[in-house]
């Protein structure tokens, strides 16, 4: 019998929910009318049909992004924490991994790049050590 892990699931049983629905971008793109409007924000898919006429920024801006990736425009506006919290109500699933943009990949590359930069900066003092050694050798000899 499968048992749901109890650890870390203290908030309203969220820890039990493990399955995610994946949507292809092709599917999301079809939901671009005011009767059925989906958006992608940071790799997550939102059905915001019922939110259209409640959006403080107006319907039009949402319709412009209908069926598409609105991450950039969502961030450009500088939405509040409240707005980000609201997103949860409209979340229906994630973008299928094969459709994820290199946007997230480049972040990963950035992270991978970091230790290299660290190594590089560690190499900088080496020539200085050589110079120091030469000076020491000359002064002692
Ligand atoms: C489902 C996604 C979205 C939610 C839940 C949402 C929610 C909100 C909320 C709560 C506000 C009031 C101000 C704030 O609290 O930040 C707001 C304002 C606004 N939003 Fe959105 N929004 C969404 C998507 C978008 C997108 C995709 C755009 C742009 C294309 C956009 C453009 C705006 C604009 C222009 C304002 C008005 C800002 C102002 O008057 O200062 N929103 N939104």
Nearest CA to ligand 1 atom 39: 57
Structural domain boundaries, residue 63? 21-95
Please report the DSSP string for 90-108 in residue order: HEEEEE-GGG--HHHHHHH
Cα 13 to the chain's mean position, in Å? Answer: 24
* CA 62 / ligand 1 centre spacing (Å): 9
Are 24 and 96 in contact, with CB atoms under 8 Å apart? Answer: yes
CA atoms within 13 A on the CB side of 131: 5
pLDDT at 18: 75
Name the residue with tokens 């002064």: 139
The reply to whether 25 falls in a domain is: yes
Nearest CA to ligand 1 atom 28: 74
Length reported for the chain? 141
* CA 20 / ligand 1 centre spacing (Å): 26
User: For residues 94 and 104, what is the distance between their CA atoms, to the nearest angstrom?
Assistant: 13
The neighbouring-strand residues paired with 40 are 45, 69
Site residues for ligand 1, CB cut-off 6 Å: 46, 48, 51, 55-57, 61-62, 65, 70, 73-74, 77, 79-80, 82-83, 86-87, 90
The reply to whether 62 falls in a domain is: yes
**Quick one: which atom of ligand 1 is closest to the CA of 86?**
5
The reply to whether 119 falls in a domain is: no
The reply to whether 108 falls in a domain is: no
Start-to-end C-alpha separation, the chain: 80
pTM: predicted TM-score of the whole model, two decimal places: 0.70
Q: Which residues of the chain have pLDDT under 70?
A: 1-17, 103-133, 135, 140-141
The reply to whether 39 falls in a domain is: yes
Residues 6+ apart with CB under 8 A from 74: 41
Rg of the Cα trace of the chain? 25
- Domain CATH code at residue 65: 3.10.120.10
Helix (H) or strand (E) holding 126: helix 125-140
* CA 47 / ligand 1 centre spacing (Å): 15
pLDDT at 141: 57
The reply to whether 81 falls in a domain is: yes
pLDDT at 134: 74
Tally the domains of the chain: 1
């Amino acid at each position: 019998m499968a048992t749901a892990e109890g650890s870390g699931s203290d908030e309203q049983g969220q820890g039990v929910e493990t399955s995610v629905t994946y949507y292809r971008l092709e599917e999301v793109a079809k939901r671009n009318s005011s009767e059925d409007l989906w958006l992608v924000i940071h790799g997550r898919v939102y059905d915001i049909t019922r939110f259209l006429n409640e959006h403080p920024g107006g319907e039009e801006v949402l319709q412009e992004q209908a069926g598409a990736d609105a991450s950039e425009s969502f961030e450009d506006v500088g939405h509040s924490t409240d707005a980000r919290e609201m997103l949860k109500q409209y979340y229906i699933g994630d973008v299928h991994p094969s459709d994820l943009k290199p946007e997230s990949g480049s972040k990963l590359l950035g992270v991978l790049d970091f230790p290299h930069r660290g190594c590089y900066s560690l190499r900088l003092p080496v020539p200085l050590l050589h110079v120091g050694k030469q000076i020491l050798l000359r002064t002692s000899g």
